[in-house]
Amino acid sequence: MNRQPHVAVVGATGAVGIEMIRTLERRQFPLSRLTLLASARSAGKTIRFRNEEIPVQELKADSFRGVDLALFSAGSSVSKQFAPEAVKAGCVVVDNSSAFRMDDTVPLVVPEINGDDVRWHRGIIANPNCTTAITLMALYPLHRAFGCRRIFASSYQAVSGTGARAIAELERQVRQIVHGEPVTREVYPHQIAFNVLPHVDSFLPNGYTREEMKLENEGRKIMHHPGFRASVTCVRVPVYRAHSVAVSAEFEKPVSVEAALDVLRQAPGLDVIDDPARCEYPMPLYQAGKDNCAVGRIRKDCALDNGLCFWVCGDQLLKGAALNAVQIAELLLAT
């Protein structure tokens, strides 16, 4: 990898793409040139980066000539079509979609957990699902210390995980309710304002949604733990940004709250906020915009042997997407 690479961001005008650009600038990523790529309808727009207005170009098969590194966040179909073209041009792809996550030839990486896996890439490295990444930031240090057998979890996922139209829908519905107007829906199958939907992604024959199965499937790959089991319910909540997950985990070894806190306080990329007596615990309102995830409400699980309960929050546009992708890029430069 060129130590001052030419970087492209695919899906540059989307919510995650914008965060990728901001994160590259904020972390002073040593790129020599930035190319912004998106659909034809976004071509010609400009995005500010390092005091320069950079025009957005239409994504085409030949867009990757001379590009060293491409950060993709434009959906699975775009990744499947254009990531191989980028690799043919000699570019390394970090892909934020689900297109390649479970491909045995593609590393699925959370740098704090399995950063060494970037070494065996064949041109494409996958970013995990946002809820998976946020959950594992707290679960993996505990697994490494005590050996996680299984978890039961419920997610509380912000509307920004669905995109800009979902944010607008929540804003519109709140305004409509406050003013006594009829509530309109475009994105979600039910009203999201002042409501929660136990439905994230499409349903599978087993009754779970695709989002719910990702935590088990991706967790096994990221943690190198083929026996890991996860029963998950994913819920969309009327929060703008940052996901939260309530986890009950069962471990092979006995685990105390004190021992768990010692482990979690040393975990990279994770803050411990755990003082219930003072009403201090992680909340999405305050994790929004922060690089680190936060864990709290740590307590013994009274229904599981060697069990522990905890609550973890993280910004799904950052650690769940853009930040994780840029961290992978930083690893590539360091290897």
Q: What whole-number distance in Å separates Cα of residue 125 and Cα of residue 96?
A: 9
Residue tagged active-site, from 6, 91, 121, 130: 130
Single out the residue of 190, 139, 132, 130 nearest to residue 163, CA to CA. 130
Single out the residue of 249, 286, 285 nearest to residue 264, CA to CA. 249
18-48 per-position pLDDT tens digit: 999 999 999 999 999 999 999 999 999 999 9
Quick check: 335 pLDDT over 90? no
CATH of domain 6-129+321-334: 3.40.50.720
* Per-residue pLDDT band at 164 (split at 50, 70, 90): confident
| Of 163 and 313, more confident | 313
User: Structure tokens of 10?
Assistant: 């695919």
User: Structure tokens of 243?
Assistant: 């996901």
Q: How large is the average pLDDT for residues 256-260? A: 98
* Active-site residue flag, 243: yes
Q: Give residue 257's Cα distance to chain centre.
A: 27
Q: Exposed, middle or buried, 164 (CB in 10 Å: 0-12/13-18/19+)?
A: middle
The pTM assigned to this predicted structure is 0.96
243 in Cβ contact with 157 (< 8 Å): yes
User: Structure tokens of 230?
Assistant: 């996860």
Residue tagged active-site, from 6, 121, 143, 243: 243
CB neighbours of 51 closer than 8 A, spacing ≥ 6?
none
Q: Which residue has the tokens 């685990």?
A: 255
272-325 per-position pLDDT tens digit: 999 999 999 999 999 999 999 999 999 999 999 999 999 999 999 999 999 999
Annotated binding residue at 101? yes
Annotated binding residue at 79? no
| Of 245 and 1, more confident | 245
What are the domain boundaries of the chain?
6-129+321-334, 132-316
pLDDT of 1: 79
Annotated binding residue at 176? no
Q: How large is the average pLDDT for residues 182-206? A: 97
Q: How large is the average pLDDT for residues 252-274? A: 98
41-85 per-position pLDDT tens digit: 999 999 999 999 999 999 999 999 999 999 999 999 999 999 999
Q: Are strands 148-157 and 52-58 parallel, antiparallel or unpaired?
A: unpaired
Annotated binding residue at 236? yes
74-124 per-position pLDDT tens digit: 999 999 999 999 999 999 999 999 999 999 999 999 999 999 999 999 999
CATH 3.40.640.10 for domain 132-316: no
111-159 per-position pLDDT tens digit: 999 999 999 999 999 999 999 999 999 999 999 999 999 999 999 999 9
Annotated binding residue at 266? no
Question: Rounded to 5, what percent of the chain is helix, strand, coil?
Answer: 35, 25, 40
Going by the DSSP 8-state scheme, the letter that residue 304 receives in this structure is S
Single out the residue of 49, 70, 51, 48 nearest to residue 59, CA to CA. 70
